[in-house]
Amino acid sequence: MNFLSNNIYYIGCFGLIFIGLYIVLTKKNLIKVIIGINFIDTGVNLFLITIGYIRGGTAPIFSRPGLNPERMVDPIPQALVLTTIVIGVSVLALALSLAIRLYHHYGTLNLRKIRELKW
Amino acid sequence: MILITILLIAFGGAFVTYLAGKISGKLRNILAVLVSLALVVLISLIYRREISREYYTLPFLNLKLILMSNPLSWFFAIIIAGIGLLSILYSLEYMKDKERLDYYYFTLLFINASMLGTVISGDLLSFFIFWEIMSWSTYLLISYKGGKAIAAGLKYIIMSIIGSLAMLLVIISLYSRYGTMEISAIASYMQTASIGYTLFILITSSLSFVIINAFWPLHTWLPDAHAEAVSPFSSVLSAVLVRKGIYGLYLFMYVILGLNILNKLHVGFISFSSVLCGIGAVTIVFAAFTALVQEDSKRILAWSTVGQGGYMLLGIVFATASGMTGGMFHVLNHCIYIALLFFVAGAIEHRTGGIRNINELGGLIKRMPVTFIAALVGISGLIGIPLTNGFVSKWLIYKTLILGNHPFLAFAAFVGTWGTVLYGYKFIHNIFLGQLPEKYKHIKEAPLLMQLPMILLTVTVILFGVLPGIPLRVISAIQRQVALPPLQTTLFGIPKEAGELNMINVLFAILISCFIVWLLFRRAAKSVPVQQDDSYAAGSYVPKEKYHYTVNFYNPLSKMITPYLRDVASLFYLNIARGTQRVCNIIRRVYVGEVGYYAMYIVLFLAFLIFIQMFF
Amino acid sequence: MRKIISLILLGIVCVGIIFALYSIPFGKDKIKVGKHYIYNGIKETGAVNIVTSVVLNYRGFDTLGEVTILFIAALGLGVVLYGKKKKRKEGLEPASLVLYTGCRFLFPLILLFGAYIFIHGHLTPGGGFQGGAIIASGFLLSYLGCPRKWISKERFNITESLGGLVFVIMGLIGLTIGGYFLSNFLPKGIANTLFSAGIIPILYCAVGFKVGAELAGIIYNMIE
Amino acid sequence: MIFVFLLVFLMLAGAIVASIFKDLMNSVIAMALVSLIASILFYFLQAPDVAMAEASIGAALTTAIFIIAIRRTKRHEE
């Protein structure tokens, strides 16, 4: 139980990453694969934030006087993840538009049938 | 100062010619001729200077450019400039209607310039740089015609790059060991190097020269490249560029290492020179008989280029006075007559509209007499008939081989000469003698501008055959430079002390016998030229071309020798290529075309890394 | 078969990660560079929200690059989906009256909320990215509720370009005045007030408009 | 703490369920759930900025984009 309570966030983010990877590895529907990629994205974001966390810390915002700067969590991963999320959604949209295009071209989203990359 | 002027004129002239071509074609032609003429004049001016060096420090990287002129480089430089001038003159008419002429002239001049650079550079780095410029621009010009020529050029450049990399390895090794690139300094350091290092330097550097000179196992690029290049450039390629290999071998073997070290390089009875001798002998025999079964006029000449290289090698490997002289003289001679023969082949190609298959030709002697005489003299030189220059050099080489107790090598050389006689006769006969095909009834003699280089070279072949003392004096200066025993020469040949050869006597003897033969034929001629009548078989007309008896010349002989002429080297390379392709085909299967597999590879690699990290 | 192989591989990776994670204990103080930002952030930038000061001041140039990536992704999406435009609008069912009215009522409020979030980016959690996303979701709502009132694509483009332009111009002014790109040349003001932190609110407004227009444009492109 | 356990469990369950569903629309909704819980976890990890971004972008916009994409392609995985 102690182990679990120490590592529950790690379990969460890596569980998410592994489920995403599993989806990417095994599923054959293109949109499903993109969903998996989104899971990986979320998991990595969660991991970055988890690394910057301090037990009992506060958010890095001096919204009221008397906050202890010693107990503030790391602002840098937060800043990185902030931009990552936005980039993630735009890349996701790009991937989905490609999926739409592929569907219009091949009439299917099944990756086993779209084998143009083979040579 | 004059050396850098030569280089500047050569390289600058190429660029100026290219730019002039953008303005007008005539200006470009004039400039090209002027530049090559200026080079010939300038190089003639530095004859008889003693060894001179010029030092320049380039503004970047503190590199030194050292230029050097000595008899050896003068010898090669004058060949390069001379053949360059003639081929430019020849191209004026030959290339008249072709496309991309600016590019053509630019590249041709650029190749000449870089070849000049390689012979007058005094340090290995600039030697290498000029060598690379030469390789690449040659590649560009070989593939000028497109189509098959691109494949030929590719073949050339791949082999050339292999050689260049070997040479680069040598240069880097020498520099890191001795801290200098100047040839004379390296030569003095190398006197104290260990045997193993010397062997490494020699073998690795000669790889490059063996490739460029197309000796037997590495010759495969040459026939294609020579056949597919445009004719004026084929002559440059065959006469000059290929012989840069001999220059390089000479440079590394005698200028840098010297005779003392070379004599020490042997394991048991196998020495470095004996290996080279074997290569030369195989090259001679193999190439001569392969040329015999070719049907393409330029391909015959290309294979003869391969074969004649073997004679030069046999000559210069034996460091005796006569052998060295014979080898170097053969370089000059071969360059003259092979350029002449390529000009002949080009003239026929030009007039008949690109016909290179000699079986379709015949009887052109009446239509193109000047070309015929040029071809006859050229072939005589190639075979080594007395009164042509080829005779003198081959005589010297045979003499070396026989006096040096090398019966097998001498036999190989003789066999090669027999093959040369056969394919030389085939060349002359199939093109000029026999029956004139109907469609060539009205072709004209080659244009005057194309005749001019041919006539010049024809005269030179005879001149050097009758008066071999002129070039031999230059060659003995080379030998004196590298402290080899020079051959004593007179104007007409070789004096009694060094082994009698007096061409003036031979000249008179031949003139007299010619007179007698002429008289005999005059008196006892029985053949009467008759008109060929139309012929019919089973009531239908048989075209006259069917009677063309030059087709399948030497058919029984070719049938006999063809099984032995399988180009083992070429097959070997082909098999390597095929094997590589097969392996790559197998490797290619990992690209299955499905995203999941690609992701799987990534995870697999990750797992592999983790596995290694955890257990090792 | 494939599932088993993937599970085995993922298991190996999982084991490796578990071992690797032992050196990163959860909740311990591992901050190095962040400390500097936390202690000197207010003094140097005037922004109370340290994340904002990192995003727009310390790593402002990165944010410009990030916005550029966003722009390029939107551009790529437009290029990929460019082509035959079906007239879908005729086929759409009109929304019910309740939905229609609700959307029209909520739309300005959502925009206002988004604007509030990015204007107060240096004081409270939130900022240009979040505010932009909220604005984009407002446009999504307006599409769902009242598709005929859809704003034309050109306005999104103009807004988005203006946002990028303001960002770059602010950076260039900073370059001329302060000596480096995006230097904070405006007065810092008093911390915890709206008009503080120099150029950060301006930049965040630009980013908010840009991201909002960009994401709305992406949705627009996907729907068309 | 038990609340965090519950959330993480729910999040992972949502992810697994998203991978299992044959109807892509259900998968996408499960994915939205995952994003939403992730944003709550961000808030617990003292990152309100990120929580906001994740909630507005991950849970709302991404879902919308996915739904649009599914509407333009095919709803069911074969």
CB B143: neighbour CB atoms within 10 A?
21
pLDDT at residue C164 tops 90: no
pLDDT at B582: 93
Q: Which two tokens stand for residue A101?
A: 């295009």
* Distance (Å, whole) CA B280 – CA B296: 24
| C-alpha distances in Å from residue B472, one per residue of B242, B469, B489, C8, C37 | 21, 5, 7, 80, 86
The continuous run of DSSP H or E covering B462 comes out as helix B448-466
Which of A51, A78, A87 has its CB closest to that of C51?
Answer: A78
Query: Which residues of chain D lie closer than 8 angstroms to C126, CB-CB?
Result: 48-49, 52
- Tens digits of residue pLDDT in C81-119: 877 655 555 556 667 888 888 888 888 899 899 888 888
Give the confidence band of B49 by pLDDT, cuts at 50, 70, 90: low
What CATH class has A2-58+69-106? mainly alpha
Query: How crowded is residue B35: how many other Cβ atoms within 10 Å of its Cβ?
Result: 24
Closest by CA position to B443, among listed B378, B358, B376, B349 = B349
Instruction: List the single residue in B591, B592, B596 with the smallest CB-CB distance to A25.
Output: B596
The confidence score (pLDDT) of residue A118 equals: 60
Tens-place pLDDT, residues B188-223 = 888 887 888 888 888 888 888 888 888 878 888 888
Between A80 and B486, the higher pLDDT residue? A80
HSE of B247 in the Cβ direction (CA atoms, 13 Å)?
27
Mean pLDDT over all residues of chain A? 83
Domain ranges across chain A: 2-58+69-106
Do both B358 and B464 map to the same domain?
Answer: yes
Q: How far, CA to CA in Å, does B99 sit from each of B145, B449, B475, B512, C221?
A: 9, 19, 41, 51, 50
Total Cβ atoms within 10 A of residue B267: 9
Q: Using 50, 70 and 90 to split pLDDT, how confident is the model at B544?
A: low
A93 interaction partners in chain D (CB closer than 8 Å): 65
**CA distance readout (Å), C74 to B200, B529, D62:** 60, 88, 14
Which chain B residues have a beta carbon less than 8 Å from that of C2?
Answer: 596
D13 touches A: beta carbon within 8 Å: no
Same domain, B360 and B464: yes
User: In terms of CA atoms, which chain C residue is nearest residue B610?
Assistant: C16
CB atoms within 10 A of CB B194: 8
Test B595 with A24 for CB contact under 8 angstroms: yes
Could you give the angle at which helices B272-292 and B407-432 cross, rounded to 10 degrees?
Answer: 30
Is B583 a residue whose pLDDT tops 90?
A: yes
Tokens representing B106?
């630019």
Please check the confidence at residue B117 and state whether its pLDDT lies above 80.
yes
- Which of B387-401, B568-582, C88-102 is predicted most confidently? B568-582
The dihedral built from the CA positions of residue C161, C167, C171 and C177, taken in this order, carries a sign that is: positive
Same structural domain, B516 and B575: no
- Put simply, the answer to whether C15 touches B613 (Cβ < 8 Å) is no
Task: Please answer yes or no on whether C55 and A91 come within 8 Å at the CB atom.
Answer: no
Amino acid in the structure at residue B75: F
> Does residue C138 belong to the interface with chain D, where contact is any CB pair within 8 Å?
no
> Could you tell me if B159 and B218 are in contact, meaning their C-beta atoms sit under 8 angstroms apart?
yes
Cβ <8 Å between D46 and A73 = yes
Statement: residue B580 has pLDDT above 90: yes
- Name every residue whose Cβ is closer than 8 Å to that of residue B462 and which is 6 or more positions away in sequence: B377, B387, B388
A22-31, B346-355, C204-213: least confident range: B346-355
- The strand pair at B266-267 and B270-271 is best described as antiparallel
Extended beta strands in A1-119, E state: none
Q: Do chains C and D touch (3 or more CB pairs under 8 A)?
A: yes
The phi, psi pair for B279, rounded to 5°, reads -60, -45
C98 alpha carbon, distance to own chain's centre: 31
Chain C partners of B605 at a C-beta cutoff of 8 Å? none
Residue pLDDT, tens place only, A54-90: 888 888 888 777 777 788 888 888 888 888 888 888 8
A9 vs C contacts (CB less than 8 Å): 26
> What proportions of chain B, in percent to the nearest 5, are helix, strand and coil?
75, 5, 20
Q: Whole domain around residue B513: which residue ranges?
A: 336-520+550-566
Structure tokens at B228: 């597919």
Distance CA D75, CA D78 (A): 9
| Amino acid (one-letter) located at A60 | P
Query: Complex ipTM, two decimals?
Result: 0.80
Distance from CA of D45 to the nearest CA of A (A): 6
How far, in Å, CA of B551 to CA of B442, rounded? 22
Residues of chain D contacting residue A51, judged by C-beta atoms under 8 Å apart: none
Alpha carbons within 13 angstroms on the beta-carbon side of residue D6 total 3
Whether the CB-CB separation of C217 and C153 falls below 8 Å is answered with yes
| 52-111 of A, contacting D, C-beta below 8 A | 52-53, 57-61, 73, 78, 81-82, 85-86, 88-89, 92-93, 96-97, 99-100, 103, 108-110
| Cα Rg of chain A (Å, integer) | 19
The shortest C-alpha distance from B588 to chain C (Å) reads: 21
Best of C7, C9, C23 to mutate (most B CBs within 10 Å, chain B)? C9
> Would you list the domain boundaries of chain C?
2-223
Residue A5 contacts C, CB cutoff 8 Å: no
Q: Which residue in A22, A57, A92 is closest to D62 by CB distance?
A: A92
- Does B594 reach chain A within 8 Å, measured CB to CB? yes
Determine, for residues A111 and B595 on separate chains, whether the beta-carbon distance falls below 8 Å. yes
List of chains touching D (3+ CB pairs within 8 A) = A, C
Q: Please tell me the total count of domains within chain B.
A: 2
Beta-carbon separation of A75 and C59 below 8 A = no
Same domain, B555 and B609: no
* DSSP labels, D9-71: HHHHHHHHHHHH-SBHHHHHHHHHHHHHHHHHHHHHTT-HHHHHHIIIIIIIIHHHHHHHHHH
User: To the nearest 10°, the Cα dihedral for B462, B463, B469, B472?
Assistant: -70
Q: Please report the pLDDT score of residue B579 as a whole number.
A: 94
Q: Which two tokens stand for residue B216?
A: 């037997």
Tell me if chain A has a CB within 8 Å of the CB of D78. Answer: yes
- Taking the C-alpha atoms of residue A113 and residue A23, their distance in angstroms, rounded to an integer, is 18
Chains touching B (3+ CB pairs < 8 Å): A, C
Q: Is residue B450 in some structural domain?
A: yes
Q: How far is B609 from chain C (nearest CA, A)?
A: 9
Same domain, B580 and B514: no
Query: Each residue's pLDDT tens digit in chain D (78 positions)?
Result: 788 888 888 989 988 888 888 888 888 899 899 889 888 988 888 888 888 888 888 888 888 888 888 888 888 877
Predicted confidence band of residue B581 (pLDDT cuts 50, 70, 90): very high
Contact between chains at A116 and B592 (C-beta distance less than 8 A):
no
pLDDT of residue B528: 73
In this predicted structure, the answer to whether residue A26 has a pLDDT above a threshold of 90 is no
Distance from the Cα of B598 to chain C's closest Cα (Å) equals 12
Residues B340 and B417 in one domain: yes
Question: Quick check: do B and D touch, 3+ CB pairs under 8 A?
Answer: no
Alpha carbons within 13 A on the beta-carbon side of C217? 27
pLDDT of residue B369: 84
The chain D residue lying nearest C120, using CA atoms, is: D49
A55 vs B: CB within 8 A: no
**Per-residue pLDDT tens over the stretch B305-347:** 888 888 888 888 877 777 888 888 888 888 888 888 888 888 8
Residue in the structure block whose two tokens are 């097998």: B408
Intra-chain end-to-end CA distance of chain B, in Å = 65
B231 falls in which pLDDT band (50, 70, 90)? confident
Assess B600–C contact: CB distance below 8 Å, yes or no: yes
Do C56 and A75 contact (CB within 8 A), yes or no? no
D68: chain C residues, CB-CB within 8 Å: 219, 222-223
Contact B66, B54 (CB under 8 A): yes
Tell me which of B7-11, B434-438, B599-603 is least confident: B434-438
How far is residue B332's CA from residue B196's CA, in Å, rounded to a whole number?
34
DSSP label at residue C57: I
Closest approach of chain A CAs to the CA of C50, in angstroms?
Answer: 6
Spatial separation of the C-alpha atoms in residues B610 and B604, rounded to whole Å: 10
User: Distance from A102 to chain C by nearest Cα, in Å?
Assistant: 10
Mean pLDDT of chain B: 82
Whether B and A touch (3+ CB pairs < 8 Å), yes or no = yes
**Contact between A117 and B594 using a beta-carbon 8 Å cutoff:** yes
Q: Does residue B376 have a pLDDT over 70?
A: yes
Tell me if chain A has a CB within 8 Å of the CB of B514.
Answer: no
Nearest chain C residue (CA) to B597: C2
Given a contact cutoff of 8 angstroms between Cβ atoms, the answer to whether B246 and B213 are in contact is yes
Q: How do residues B136-185 score in pLDDT, each as one tens digit?
A: 888 888 888 878 888 888 888 888 888 889 988 988 888 888 887 788 88
B577 exposed, middle or buried (CB, 10 Å; 0-12, 13-18, 19+)? Answer: exposed
Which chains touch C (3+ CB pairs under 8 A)? A, B, D
* Minimum CA–CA partner of A93 in chain D: D65
Chain C residues whose beta carbon lies within 8 Å of the beta carbon of residue B604 = 9
Any idea how long chain B is? 616
- Whether residue B451 is found in the same domain as residue B583: no
Q: Which residues of A touch D45 (CB under 8 A)?
A: 9, 49-50, 52-53, 73
Asked if pLDDT for residue C70 goes beyond 80, the answer is yes
**Which pLDDT score is estimated for B497?**
67
- Identify the pLDDT of residue C109: 92
Contact D52 C136 (CB under 8 A): no
Residues B436 and B507 in one domain: yes
D3 inside 8 A of chain A by CB:
no
Based on the fold, state whether residues B609 and B560 are members of the same structural domain. no
Question: Which of D56, D67, D71 to probe by mutation at the C interface, max C CB count within 10 Å?
Answer: D56
Same-domain status, B490 and B380: yes
Contacts of A50 in chain D (CB under 8 A): 45
pLDDT of residue A119: 57
Report the distance separating Cα C192 and Cα A57, nearest Å: 21
Nearest to C6 among B600, B611, B614 (CB): B600
Q: What residue in A sits closest to B601 (Cα-Cα)?
A: A25
Nearest residue in D to C121, CA atom: D49
Q: For chain B, how many helices (H) and strands (E)?
A: 24, 8
Q: Is B23 among the domain residues?
A: no
Cα distance between residue B593 and residue A118, in whole Å: 4
